[in-house]
Amino acid sequence: WGGFGHITVAYIASNFVSDSTTSYLQTLLRNDTGDYLAGVATWADSIRYTKWGRFTSGFHFIDAHDNPPTYCGVDYDRDCKKEAGCVVSALQNYTSQLLDTELPLWRRAQAAKFVIHFIGDIHQPLHTEDVARGGNGIHVTFEGKELNLHHVWDTSIAEKLVGGIRRKPYPFAKKWADELTEEIKSGKYAAESKSGWLRGTNITDPIATALGWAVEGNALVCTTVLPEGAEAIEGQELGTDYYEKAAPVVEEQVAKAGFRLAAWLDLIISSLK
Ligand code: DCM
Ligand code: DCM
Ligand code: ZN
């Protein structure tokens, strides 16, 4: 996701974590405000193009070598690059660093920031797809602007959904996060979030847990992102009919990511000591 999506995911998570998780992470991240998660949600993107952070650039996605829309699917051994890693292996690695109380606090703070970011990214369907580098190579327009499909899913759809963010991502993300939090607690996501969104979540098996999230997002590539394949979407205007079908999917993926991030952080923090 773009910055707005990541910040929204983090605000949703802040609404669901336990009080002890909140105070533990506020201390670790040295921020005692309500923005302690939101304020670090985009940090991983800010370092990926720097010299020291280059090794993390492949951690934001997993390139599923499937064939949408005919066949979707993620296979860890096939799709997670052995040298560069992927978002699934990165989530396992940084989860274990956050759990390791022998590591220096700065390392664990850094691990927390990666976990917060990557649980967001794994829920962006095009972060679980190889085709055209996750859609970066597919040229489209959105409300007349020339963009690539990856950018449309990262940024354009979410920003249109809330009516634009007018260069102020934090207050707009907070408002959207609070609305989605209500939908999760007692609105359109209440039943499914309680019965299904945490199914398969297992802190002793981060690979299987993250792979489950990846498979779910990747299936949306076949149904909603590329319902008629990559060639059919090239050059198309996506701000109207396509947007109407995609927006509810973006909204649910952002809501799920925030809810699951909260559960994952609770599982980590409650198992310490
Ligand atoms: N950080 C780190 N190692 C580095 C650079 C930064 O652990 N080489 C971490 C420590 C702080 C955070 O980044 O928790 C600071 O991030 P920022 O500079 O975005 O405030
Ligand atoms: N990306 C992806 N899958 C790829 C390559 C990139 O999901 N195979 C994502 C990472 C960034 C965005 O696309 O969020 C742009 O990546 P880059 O700047 O590497 O082109
Ligand atoms: Zn990212």
Q: What is the ipTM of this complex?
A: 0.79
Ligand minimally distant from the alpha carbon of residue 65? 2
At residue 33 the predicted structure's pLDDT band, cuts being 50, 70 and 90, is: very high
Q: Could you say which of 63, 79, 108, 127 is catalytic?
A: 127
Rounded distance from Cα 102 to ligand 3 centre (Å): 27
pLDDT (0 to 100) of residue 173:
98
Q: What is the pTM of this model?
A: 0.94
3-state secondary structure of 25: helix
Q: Could you say which of 154, 213, 264, 266 is catalytic?
A: 154
pLDDT digits (tens, 9 = 90+) for 134-175: 999 999 999 999 999 999 999 999 999 999 999 999 999 999
At residue 85 the predicted structure's pLDDT band, cuts being 50, 70 and 90, is: very high
Angle between helices 3-16 and 169-186 (to 10 degrees): 50
Angle between helices 169-186 and 241-270 (to 10 degrees): 80
pLDDT reading at 122 higher than 80: yes
Q: For residue 29, which atom of ligand 1 is closest to its CA?
A: 14
Name the region of 51 (left: φ>0; alpha: ψ -120 to 50; beta: rest): alpha
Average pLDDT, integer, range 66-83:
98
pLDDT (0 to 100) of residue 149:
98
Ion ligand 3 — residues with CB < 5 Å:
45, 60, 121
Q: For residue 154, which atom of ligand 2 is closest to its CA?
A: 14
Among protein residues, the one whose CA lies closest to atom 16 of ligand 2: 136
Please, which residues bridge with residue 81 across strands? 85
